[in-house]
Copies of this chain bind each other. A is one copy, B any other.
Amino acid sequence: MTRQLTIALDAMGGDHAPGVILDGANIARERHPDLRFLICGDQARIDKALAPYPRLREQVTIRHTDEVVTAEDKPGQALRRGRNSSMALAIEAVREGEAQVAVSAGNTGALMALAKFMLRTMPGIDRPALATLLPSSRGESVMLDLGANVECDERNLVEFAVMGAAFARTALGVPRPTVALLNVGVEELKGHDLVKGAGQTLKQSPLPLEFAGFIEGDGIAEGAVDVIVTDGFTGNVALKTAEGTARMIAGLMKNAFLSSWLARLGYLFARPGLRALQDHLDPNNHNGAVFLGLNGLVVKSHGGANAVGIASAIGVAYDMAADDLGARIAADMETSASQAGETGEVAAS
């Protein structure tokens, strides 16, 4: 029997809140009937959005607030004035142990700032990171950091590797994930000092992961490894470049299929296969970026996600909470540290 899990939902974040958030919660409830929700936001609007879902209603507690963090709020504003917002209440529920994980489709910068401030970074971790699942030719990979830290040092990259591997074990079900550093070439001498230094450390450290060296940008879509580690600047650019390229091609494909009546007919004939392709690339099916390294679990949904996307993000949150990912990361960090200590002693003796 699995233990009872509660997810704290920010009902007011994202482009189509609160309707789509509760539509998504209802899909997630069907997949995980044992799930409970603590829903934070405007009571009247949430009640209205819950009306079509009597069953979901039974598994829901509503925590009312009038306040919201808007898409325009700067992280500093959210910290100063957003402490009673729906976003903050969801994070608070995790801090107080009322929920095991918080999910929000709101302002990323504000969510990062509030989560970091309210939950604090885990002992032994210098900086939290934002990770996500990405589609690849072979299935899915994890990439981090996606922008929590635009400037990183070597220690950060090594910690991202450990946290990313723990997340991959949970999200991909791989017992010993392969991990690589994103670089401009695969040879040891390639890249700047940061990536070369992190590469050396990862190569020499006894970590609960399989370090595969460097990969180049095209290794991401190839699915060359389970976990791609990089600084938040490069990771953010790579993620958005991949998304933008996929969107461009989807647009051009649509034009191709609309270019003649024969082409339209061709689309109909090929539709089942093309649907599978669309599904695989649809960001909604990989929705749910995860803050790793905090004393509590927080999942960020795309602001523009549809109900399926919200359900995916809740699914990621469910898996993380069910697996007690925070405890796994803490254990992995301790193991790495103690093994590194032992190795150090051997080397020194």
User: Does A340 lie at the interface of the complex (its beta carbon under 8 Å from any beta carbon of B)?
Assistant: no
New A-B pairs, 8, CB < 8 Å, besides A245-B246, A266-B268 = A136-B248, A220-B245, A241-B242, A241-B245, A253-B253, A256-B277, A263-B273, A266-B271
Q: Considering residues A191, A221, A257, A259, which has the most beta carbons from chain B within 10 angstroms of its beta carbon?
A: A221
Q: Is A1 an interface residue (CB 8 A)?
A: no
Q: A251 to B137, Cβ gap below 8 A?
A: yes
Question: Which B residue sits closest to A136, measured CB to CB?
Answer: B248
User: When the two chains form their complex, are residues B241 and A221 in contact, meaning their CB atoms are under 8 A apart?
Assistant: yes
Q: Is the CB of A281 closer than 8 A to any CB of chain B? A: yes
A260 lies within 8 A of chain B by Cβ: yes
The digit string for A114-157, where 1 denotes a CB below 8 A from any CB of B, is 00000000000000000000011100000000010011000000
Q: In whole angstroms, what is the CA distance A240 to B218 when docked? A: 5
Instruction: Return 10 A-B CB contacts under 8 Å, by A number.
Output: A137-B248, A151-B192, A217-B238, A217-B242, A218-B241, A221-B248, A222-B248, A253-B274, A263-B270, A263-B273
Closest to A251 in B: B137
Within 8 A of B (CB), among A31-71: none
> Of B237, B248, B263, which contacts A237 at CB under 8 A?
B237
Q: Are B269 and A252 in contact (CB under 8 A)?
A: no
In the docked arrangement, what's the CA distance between A273 and B260, Å?
Answer: 8
Chain B CB within 8 A of A247 CB:
yes
Taking the nearest CB of chain B, how far is it from the CB of A338, in angstroms? Answer: 34
Question: Looking at chain A's contact residues, is the secondary structure mostly helix, strand, loop, or mixed?
Answer: helix
Contacts of A263 in B (CB 8 A): 269-270, 272-274
State in angstroms the CA–CA spacing of A189 and B248 once bound together. Answer: 28
- Assess the B240–A257 pair: CB atoms within 8 A: no
- How close is A6's CB to chain B, nearest CB, in angstroms? 33
How long is the Cα–Cα vector from A68 to B302 in the complex, in angstroms?
51
A232 part of interface (Cβ distance < 8 Å): yes
- Hey, which chain B residues are within 8 Å of A262, CB to CB? 269-270
Residues from chain B with Cβ under 8 Å of A151 in the complex: 192
Bound CA span A184–B152, Å: 14
CA distance A219 to B252 in the complex (A): 16
Q: Is A342 an interface residue (CB 8 A)?
A: no
Inter-chain contact A191/B233, CB cutoff 8 Å:
yes
